[in-house]
């Protein structure tokens, strides 16, 4: 029995190791597209040992710094090398990876906004929407409602939904009205997240400086 348990444990450990390796090798691009040279450099960087950092910019420059004993120093050197020949301060690099961990979209965008304050007055992609438990449950229950239906939400959290509408347009109007009745929606107007059975792709969404959201392609 002990031998059987040991074998099972060994197989489980091997399976988990394989899964972890696959997850580690999965590529997720930063908040801006990378060119071929940047992608190749990032692939080479991924095989290097820590402590390491990778910096890049939308303009095409990049720097991979590896083999340090300090992640702080690796990050500093990556940014310094990446910005070495950049004369326009709004074109400077940002850190996109530290020790093999992709920096979250919010952190990457924060760096870009600090580099170019003009971006604060432009629509911002919002690929990292997170619903609280109340909104998540409402969205799950929405799936069982009859059409025409719509689900609206605000960047500050309130939500509203409507179903059995005479038309999709009517359902959207009712969902938005329900959502916008909440106090937080007065400073962050609600937007449509779901139409009938389809979710609006998050890559279409843009948060405006007034906290309204655009980018939903009309049905």
Predicted confidence at residue 82, as pLDDT, reads 95
Burial of 176 per CB tally in 10 Å (0-12, 13-18, 19+): buried
Judge if 139 and 94 occupy the same domain. no
56 contacts 106 by C-beta, under 8 angstroms: no
Maximum separation of any 2 CA atoms in the chain, in Å:
69
| Confidence at residue 27, expressed as pLDDT on a 0 to 100 scale | 62
On average, the pLDDT of the chain sits at 87
Q: What residue has token string 């580690």?
A: 24
Question: pLDDT value at position 8?
Answer: 47
* Runs of H (alpha helix) within the chain: 2-25, 36-46, 71-82, 105-115, 133-142, 168-180
Task: With respect to residue 9, please indicate whether it lies within any of the assigned structural domains.
Answer: no
Q: Is the dihedral of CA 164, 168, 169, 174 positive or negative?
A: positive
Beta bridge partners of 127: none
Report yes or no: 130 and 142 within 8 Å, Cβ to Cβ.
no
Distance CA 100, CA 176 (A): 42
Q: Which candidate, 101, 98, 109, places its Cα nearest to that of 54?
A: 98
Considering the domain architecture, whether residues 36 and 112 belong to the same structural domain is answered as yes
Mean pLDDT for 74-101 is 93
Please tell me which of 5-14, 59-68, 119-128 the model is most confident about, judged by mean pLDDT: 59-68
pLDDT at 20: 45
With bands split at pLDDT 50, 70 and 90, how would you rate the model's confidence at 69?
confident
- pLDDT greater than 90 at residue 148: yes
* Residue where the block lists tokens 């083999």: 67
Total domains, the chain: 2
Q: Is 22 inside any structural domain?
A: no
pLDDT bucket at 129, cuts 50 / 70 / 90: confident
In a domain, 15, yes or no: no
What is the residue range of 201's domain?
133-214
Q: What confidence tens digit (pLDDT) does each residue in 156-166 have? A: 999 999 999 99
- The verdict on residue 182 lying in a domain is yes
Return the pLDDT at 130.
86
User: pLDDT: is 60 or 129 the higher one?
Assistant: 60
pLDDT score recorded for residue 1: 39
Average pLDDT over residues 69-90: 91
CB-based contact 89:114 (threshold 8 Å): no
Q: Is the backbone peptide bond immediately before 51 cis, with ω within 30 degrees of 0? A: yes
Region label for 216, one of left (φ > 0), alpha (ψ between -120 and 50) or beta (otherwise): beta
Q: Is residue 19 part of a domain?
A: no
Examine the pLDDT at 19 and tell me if it is beyond 70. no
Q: Is residue 219 very low, low, confident or very high in pLDDT (cuts 50, 70, 90)?
A: low
Name residue, tokens 């340090």: 68
Q: Is 207 helix (H, G, I), strand (E, B) or coil?
A: strand
pLDDT tens string 23-64:
444 567 899 999 999 999 999 999 998 899 999 999 999 999
The pLDDT confidence band at residue 10, using thresholds 50, 70 and 90, is very low
Both 209 and 137 in one domain: the answer is yes
Tokens of 95: 């850190």
């Amino acid at each position: 029995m002990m031998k059987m348990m040991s074998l099972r444990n060994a197989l489980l450990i091997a399976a988990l190791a394989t899964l972890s390796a696959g997850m580690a090798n999965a590529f997720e691009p930063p908040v801006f597209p990378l060119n071929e040279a940047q992608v190749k450099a990032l692939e080479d960087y991924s095989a290097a040992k820590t402590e390491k950092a990778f910096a890049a910019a939308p303009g095409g420059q990049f720097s991979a710094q590896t083999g340090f004993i300090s992640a702080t120093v690796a990050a500093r050197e990556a940014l310094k090398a990446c910005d070495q020949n950049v004369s326009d301060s709004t074109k400077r690099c940002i850190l996109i990876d530290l020790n093999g961990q992709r920096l979250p979209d919010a952190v990457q965008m924060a760096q870009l906004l600090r580099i170019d304050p003009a971006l604060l007055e432009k629509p911002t992609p919002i690929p990292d929407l997170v619903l609280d438990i109340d909104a998540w449950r409402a969205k799950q229950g929405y799936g069982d409602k009859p059409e025409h239906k719509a689900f609206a939400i605000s960047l500050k959290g309130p939500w509203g939904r409507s179903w059995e509408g005479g038309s999709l347009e009517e359902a959207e109007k009712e969902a938005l009205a329900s959502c916008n009745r909440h106090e937080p929606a007065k400073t962050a107007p609600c937007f449509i997240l779901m139409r009938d059975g389809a979710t609006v792709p998050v890559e279409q969404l843009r948060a405006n400086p007034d906290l309204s959201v655009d980018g939903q392609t009309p049905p």
